[in-house]
Chains A and B, each alone.
Chain A
Amino acid sequence: AQTVTQSQPEMSVQEAETVTLSCTYDTSESDYYLFWYKQPPSRQMILVIRQEAYKQQNATENRFSVNFQKAAKSFSLKISDSQLGDAAMYFCASQRPDSNYQLIWGAGTKLIIKP
């Protein structure tokens, strides 16, 4: 079965510094979507960034960027200039094979921001 692995249950970073959250996935597909979602204490999951696998260029959204290594099946999230509001659970997800709308989710990484 396809899996998504987030090996860091918890990470902490000093405010204003940079942190990278790791994610690896397993798929036999050649084209697919990958996502990072954020779940703050309010509990509502928010889409942070997406990457389409056939695009070589790493996606970027303001302070959030990804390091997408297709051959290694790695999809890490880099948060630059960390802010207190970045404290949340972060979930990595990949598109399920043969599905246009189902995702497979990692277990999540809790990010703590130290003031």
Chain B
Amino acid sequence: DVKVTQSSRYLVKRTGEKVFLECVQDMDHENMFWYRQDPGLGLRLIYFSYDVKMKEKGDIPEGYSVSREKKERFSLILESASTNQTSMYLCASSREGLPIYGYTFGSGTRLTVV
């Protein structure tokens, strides 16, 4: 069964901490995405990557960075966590080209910054 695995289901971090959210996919997908999900706002794209070491900013990149050193792994980094980054974070992957197959999602990481 193909999957996208997010390393943590729940995380609680303190303000100012550096936070790493990890995502691994086993489908050899070229594209990987980090979304933030907040009630009433749907999914907002933070960053995406279309190849190893390649990344592009999404709609809300401020306060975040990413790393993709290997094709299967895409990490989201909160350089200095703040309370307004408390949210659900979803990782997704997709094949190259037209999104005919859609995305495959992980189960999400619910991050609380206190």
Binding site for B on A (CB under 8 A): 4, 6, 9, 33, 35, 37, 42-47, 50, 52, 91, 93, 95, 100-103, 105-108
Known: A47-B102, A101-B50. A107 touches B97 (CB 8 A): no
Contacts of B48 in A (CB 8 A): 101-102
Contacts of A46 in B (CB 8 A): 105
The answer for the CA separation of A111 and B44 in the assembled complex, in Å, is 21
> Whose C-beta in chain B lies nearest to the C-beta of A47?
B102
A43 & B43 in contact (Cβ 8 Å cutoff): no
The answer for the CA separation of A44 and B97 in the assembled complex, in Å, is 23
**Within the complex, what minimum Cβ distance (angstroms) separates A40 from chain B?**
10
Contacts of B88 in A (CB 8 A): 43
8 contacts between A and B (CB under 8 A): A4-B42, A33-B100, A44-B108, A101-B96, A101-B97, A101-B99, A105-B42, A106-B42
Contacts of B102 in A (CB 8 A): 35, 37, 47, 50
**Within the complex, what minimum Cβ distance (angstroms) separates A84 from chain B?**
21
Count contacts on B: residues with CB < 8 A to the other chain. Answer: 24
Binding site for A on B (CB under 8 A): 31, 40-45, 48, 50, 88, 90, 92, 94, 96-100, 102-103, 105-108
**Within the complex, what minimum Cβ distance (angstroms) separates B19 from chain A?**
19
Known: A101-B94, A102-B45, A106-B42. A33 touches B107 (CB 8 A): no
The answer for the CA separation of A9 and B45 in the assembled complex, in Å, is 21
B90 & A45 in contact (Cβ 8 Å cutoff): yes
**Within the complex, what minimum Cβ distance (angstroms) separates B1 from chain A?**
12
The answer for the CA separation of A9 and B40 in the assembled complex, in Å, is 8
**Within the complex, what minimum Cβ distance (angstroms) separates A23 from chain B?**
11
**Within the complex, what minimum Cβ distance (angstroms) separates B51 from chain A?**
12
A95 & B103 in contact (Cβ 8 Å cutoff): no
Known: A100-B98, A105-B44. 5 other contacts (CB 8 A): A44-B105, A44-B107, A45-B92, A100-B97, A101-B50
B100 & A50 in contact (Cβ 8 Å cutoff): yes
The answer for the CA separation of A4 and B97 in the assembled complex, in Å, is 22
**Within the complex, what minimum Cβ distance (angstroms) separates B44 from chain A?**
8
The answer for the CA separation of A108 and B35 in the assembled complex, in Å, is 14
